[in-house]
Amino acid sequence: MKPAEVLIIGGGPAGLCAAISAAELGCKVLLADRNKKLGGQLVKQTHMFFGSEKQYASVRGIDIAGILLSKVENNENVEILSDTTILGIYEDGVVTADQSGNYFKIRPDAIIVATGASEKTLAFPYNDLPGVYGAGAVQTLMNEYGVKPGNRVVMLGAGNIGLIVSYQLMQAGVEVAAIVDASPKIGGYLVHASKIRRMGVPIYTGHTVKEAHGTETLKGVTIWQLDDKWNPIEGTEKRFDVDVMCISVGLTPLSELLWQAGCEMKYVNELGGFVPVRNEDLETSVKGIFVAGDVSGVEEASSAMVEGFLAGLSAANYLGYTIYNINEKKNDLHQQLNALRSGPVGEKIRKGISELIFSSEAAVSKEI
Amino acid sequence: MDDKSIVCRCSDLSVKDIRDLIAQGYTTFDEIKRISRVGMGPCQGRTCTQLVLRELSIATGRPLAELMPGTYRPPVKAIKLKAICECAQGGEAHD
């Protein structure tokens, strides 16, 4: 059994930042990621980030991954396990893992779960045709593997992912026939939406998919309009002849390891589904298990990084490591999170998180 | 058309299949899982859970917040039994 001080599960923006801050306090970190290359979803983000300087605003996601990776790869306190999937967290605190087909156990003193989120999908007729993709999957195909998914696409979902991937599809030479969103308003940032509208792509709000067409592969998509009670209106159908359809209807936390560990979970719609109850320092209801990033509530990579730094500090501190200005550091990170969650979009997030926070020691029950 | 809308790609279950099971009285995710294998394939529910819970919410009138997803057990992805055997046979170092 492999011993570890802090095991960090997931090497995306949250996990990388957690590794950096825990290691800075002198803590030995084991960082596991299921992919061969760390960086999570950052590696396919070719656009520049918002936020402030501390979250690498105006730097492209892929370059942020490079900056963060350089800080863990040459760090004597960090051991990286790539191509490693954490399979389970058991009640006695033992963790099982699979590294390239080799099964083994780890006994960590603390765990930071930073597993991220997965794409939600929709049920509509012929949704299993080849050519129907998640928007994130198409982004991986194009930006990581250099594969053009098709020639003409309908994007379902006008949130930030839907808008950004639509733009990147156009950059790759794919025609975007339409962007469709069931809600009456565009969910993503206006700056992204305006850029796409200027390029002549229609955005149909208050519409949804009626059905896909095709026998062997996708040949077309029919959409229809929704009334103010979200019921489809007959006679409003529009058909688009496309060979690709992207579904971008939100993300949901990849929280199965937290369920297994017995962490108290709560359904918060604003955060993407079931999320862990935690204290301000991101410790869950199971002592010694911390969370950071999308698994603790779906937000942006910027807040995932800040949460990562915070969870790294908290986990190291839980094991007795500290630094002279730890409170100052924590306050700064809390302030950064508040700033990222300001504004109308952030209000939803803040409301969701306020339902999740417990602050009393009594609420923290079991030990790992 | 509900029989063409796929909820569970791993076990090939449509919206119609799920609605029929709910009508027969299977009104929790775990019950539907046990009778149909939804959520037990390679995706381990990562694709279908949301869709099944939505159908359950619509049919029973209970909000999503009150519906529980199924029980999560290790391992989170398929692994070869051989790998577990090799670990178990590795002696004390591999307890």
The verdict on residue A87 lying in a domain is yes
Q: Note the ipTM here.
A: 0.93
CA distance B84 to chain A (A): 6
The verdict on residue A221 lying in a domain is yes
Q: Nearest-5° angle of CA A200, CA A206, CA A207? A: 75
Q: Does A125 touch chain B (CB under 8 A)?
A: yes
CATH code for the domain in which residue A127 is found:
3.50.50.60
Residues sharing a CB contact under 8 Å with residue A21, sequence separation 6 or more, in sequence order: A308, A309, A310, A312, A313, A316
For residues A144 and A111, membership in a common domain is answered with: no
* B79, B94, B95, best to mutate vs chain A, most A CBs in 10 Å: B79
> Would residue A288 be called left, alpha or beta, if left means φ above 0 and alpha means ψ between -120 and 50 degrees?
left
* pTM recorded for the entire structure: 0.94
Q: What is the pLDDT of residues A6-22, one digit of tens each?
A: 999 999 999 999 999 99
Instruction: Inform me whether the pLDDT recorded for A366 exceeds 60.
Output: no
8 Å CB contact of A252 and B44: no
Instruction: Inform me whether the pLDDT recorded for B51 exceeds 80.
Output: yes
Which contiguous run of DSSP H or E holds residue A175? strand A175-181
Q: What is the pLDDT of residues A271-310, one digit of tens each?
A: 999 999 999 999 999 999 999 999 999 999 999 999 999 9
Q: Does A273 touch chain B (CB under 8 A)?
A: yes
| Residue A190 or residue A361, greater confidence | A190
CB A124 within 8 A of CB A223: no
Q: Which fold has domain B2-94?
A: Arc Repressor Mutant, subunit A (1.10.10)
Q: What share of chain A is helix, strand, coil (3-state, %, to 5)?
A: 35, 30, 40
For residues A92 and A191, membership in a common domain is answered with: no
Q: Nearest-5° angle of CA A194, CA A196, CA A198? A: 70
Residues sharing a CB contact under 8 Å with residue A325, sequence separation 6 or more, in sequence order: none
For residues A85 and A101, membership in a common domain is answered with: yes
Nearest residue, CB atoms, B74 vs list A87, A125, A254: A87
Q: Nearest-5° angle of CA A89, CA A95, CA A101? A: 115
For residues A277 and A353, membership in a common domain is answered with: yes
Whole-number percent of chain A with pLDDT over 90:
86
CB A318 within 8 A of CB A278: no
Which residue among A247, A275, A305 closes a domain? A247
A4 phi, psi to nearest 5 deg: -155, 145
Structure tokens given for A38: 């760390």
> What is the count of residue pairs from A and B with beta carbons less than 8 Å apart?
80
For residues A243 and A127, membership in a common domain is answered with: yes
For residues A21 and A139, membership in a common domain is answered with: no
Average pLDDT over residues B8-21: 96
Nearest chain A residue (CA) to B85: A103
Q: How many residues does chain A have?
A: 368
Q: Which long-range contacts (CB under 8 A, 24 or more apart) does B36-41 make?
A: B36/B8, B36/B11, B37/B8, B37/B10, B37/B11, B37/B13, B38/B7, B38/B8, B38/B11, B38/B13, B39/B8, B39/B70, B40/B10, B40/B11, B41/B8, B41/B9, B41/B10, B41/B11
Task: Report the domain count for chain A.
Answer: 2
For residues A233 and A266, membership in a common domain is answered with: no
Average pLDDT over residues A245-264: 96
Nearest residue, CB atoms, B76 vs list A85, A125, A273: A85
Any idea of the CA torsion for A147, A148, A153, A158, to the nearest 10 degrees?
A: 50
For residues A30 and A106, membership in a common domain is answered with: yes
CA distance B10 to chain A (A): 11
Q: What is the pLDDT of residues A307-357, one digit of tens each?
A: 999 999 999 999 999 999 999 999 999 999 999 998 877 888 888 888 888
CA atoms within 13 A on the CB side of A348: 11
What's the mean pLDDT when you consider all of chain A? 94
Which residue among A247, A263, A297 closes a domain? A247
Average pLDDT over residues B45-70: 93
For position A362, what pLDDT does the model report? Answer: 46
Q: Does A35 touch chain B (CB under 8 A)?
A: no
The verdict on residue A232 lying in a domain is yes
Q: What is the pLDDT of residues A102-149, one digit of tens each?
A: 999 999 999 999 999 999 999 999 999 999 999 999 999 999 999 999
Q: What is the pLDDT of residues A41-62, one digit of tens each?
A: 999 988 888 777 888 888 999 9
For position B13, what pLDDT does the model report? Answer: 97
Q: Give me the sign of the Cα torsion angle B45, A118, A191, A345.
A: positive
For position A368, what pLDDT does the model report? Answer: 53
Rounded distance between C-alpha atoms, residue B77 and residue B95, angstroms: 21
8 Å CB contact of B76 and A87: yes
Q: Does A230 touch chain B (CB under 8 A)?
A: no
For position A354, what pLDDT does the model report? Answer: 87
Q: Does A235 touch chain B (CB under 8 A)?
A: no
Q: Which residues of A touch B87 (CB under 8 A)?
A: 103-105
CA distance B14 to chain A (A): 8
| Residue A46 or residue B31, greater confidence | B31
| Residue A342 or residue B15, greater confidence | B15
For position A356, what pLDDT does the model report? Answer: 87
Q: Does B87 touch chain A (CB under 8 A)?
A: yes
- Identity of the residue numbered A350: R
What residues make up the domain containing A312?
2-118+251-363
Nearest residue, CB atoms, B4 vs list A88, A125, A254: A125
For position B94, what pLDDT does the model report? Answer: 52
Instruction: Inform me whether the pLDDT recorded for A174 exceeds 80.
Output: yes
Domain positions in chain B are 2-94
The verdict on residue A368 lying in a domain is no
Q: How many residues does chain B have?
A: 95
* B5, B7, B54, best to mutate vs chain A, most A CBs in 10 Å: B5
8 Å CB contact of B77 and A98: yes
Which residue among A214, A247, A280 closes a domain? A247
CA atoms within 13 A on the CB side of A217: 9
Rounded distance between C-alpha atoms, residue A365 and residue A158, angstroms: 41
